[in-house]
């Protein structure tokens, strides 16, 4: 599915184009690299607690394993390209352990949908983006702290177990961190309380299934960790501002 799966761990030629419309996406990270291009509107992207605002025609380059979040400021439509770093292996080998000081690029045209299946065009396009990046920004050495690694472990646990009845205490015990330490740290790093994040995550997964599958709403609720339809509907409306059926009917 979407952003949270272990993209490109086994498939070194992974290259997927996703469209996102007026839907925030909570803090996440993955092994793949990601390009987020704004077709219309305005969004804010948070990368490792630094916020960047993007307008129409702007693109942001998210490196592998960077925690990031997408927030819609006004009505917006995005194209999101997720790809394995091996597709531009010489670039990521050279800059392993580095991140761009300024990850924002200007791309006047959308991603090449008509040529997306061409392996050589994929590499050509991505290397062209890399050239723009190193021309317009310096790359700086980064080392992830023990705190960042702890939060990444918790996010990974949610990714793998969100469909189950999990709590922060259960997660903390399984990833071997102190519950109180992890609770405070997660709020500090992500600005979310754990339960709020878990609900954001589950509802984001539900949105994907509502638009991408023919499953019933009750099946989707169960798939996303909700045993109670009333709770699912309430959380969905609080986060998306419409009912699951209204969301599906919007297409």
Give the confidence band of 75 by pLDDT, cuts at 50, 70, 90: confident
Cα end-to-end span (Å), the chain? 18
Each residue of 13-31: pLDDT tens digit?
788 888 888 888 888 888 8
Mean pLDDT confidence for 38-54:
94
pLDDT score for 195: 95
- Give the whole-number percent of the chain exceeding pLDDT 70: 94
Mean pLDDT confidence for 122-140:
94
The Cα angle at residue 47 between residues 44 and 53, in degrees rounded to 5: 25
Each residue of 163-222: pLDDT tens digit?
999 999 999 999 999 999 999 999 988 888 999 999 999 998 898 899 888 999 999 999
Whether the predicted pLDDT of 84 surpasses 60: yes
Each residue of 146-168: pLDDT tens digit?
888 899 899 989 988 999 999 99
Whether the predicted pLDDT of 5 surpasses 70: no
Mean pLDDT confidence for 53-75:
93
For every residue of 117-167, DSSP letters joined together read: T-HHHHHHHHHHHHHHHHHH--EEE----HHHHHHHHHHHHHHHHTTS---
Give the confidence band of 11 by pLDDT, cuts at 50, 70, 90: low
């Amino acid at each position: 599915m979407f952003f949270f799966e272990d993209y490109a761990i086994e498939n070194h030629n992974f290259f997927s184009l996703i469209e996102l419309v007026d839907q925030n996406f909570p803090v996440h990270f993955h092994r793949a690299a990601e390009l987020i291009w704004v077709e219309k509107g305005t969004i804010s992207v948070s990368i490792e607690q630094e916020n960047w605002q993007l307008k129409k025609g702007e693109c942001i380059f998210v490196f592998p394993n960077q925690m990031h979040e997408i927030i819609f400021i006004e009505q917006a439509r995005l194209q999101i390209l997720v790809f394995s770093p091996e597709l531009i292996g010489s670039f990521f080998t050279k800059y392993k352990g580095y991140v761009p000081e300024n990850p924002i690029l200007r791309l006047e045209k959308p991603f090449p949908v008509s040529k997306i299946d061409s392996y050589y065009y994929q590499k050509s396009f991505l290397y062209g983006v890399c050239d723009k990046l190193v021309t317009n920004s310096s790359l700086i050495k980064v080392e992830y702290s023990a705190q960042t690694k702890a939060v990444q472990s918790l996010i990974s646990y949610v990714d793998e177990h969100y469909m189950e009845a999990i709590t922060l205490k259960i997660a903390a015990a399984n990833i071997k961190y102190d519950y109180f330490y992890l609770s405070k740290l997660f709020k500090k790093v992500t600005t979310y309380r754990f339960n709020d994040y878990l609900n954001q995550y589950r509802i984001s997964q539900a949105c994907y299934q509502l638009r991408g599958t023919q499953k019933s709403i009750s099946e989707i609720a169960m798939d996303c960790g909700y045993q109670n339809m009333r709770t699912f509907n309430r959380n969905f409306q609080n986060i998306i501002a419409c009912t699951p059926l209204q969301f599906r009917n919007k297409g």
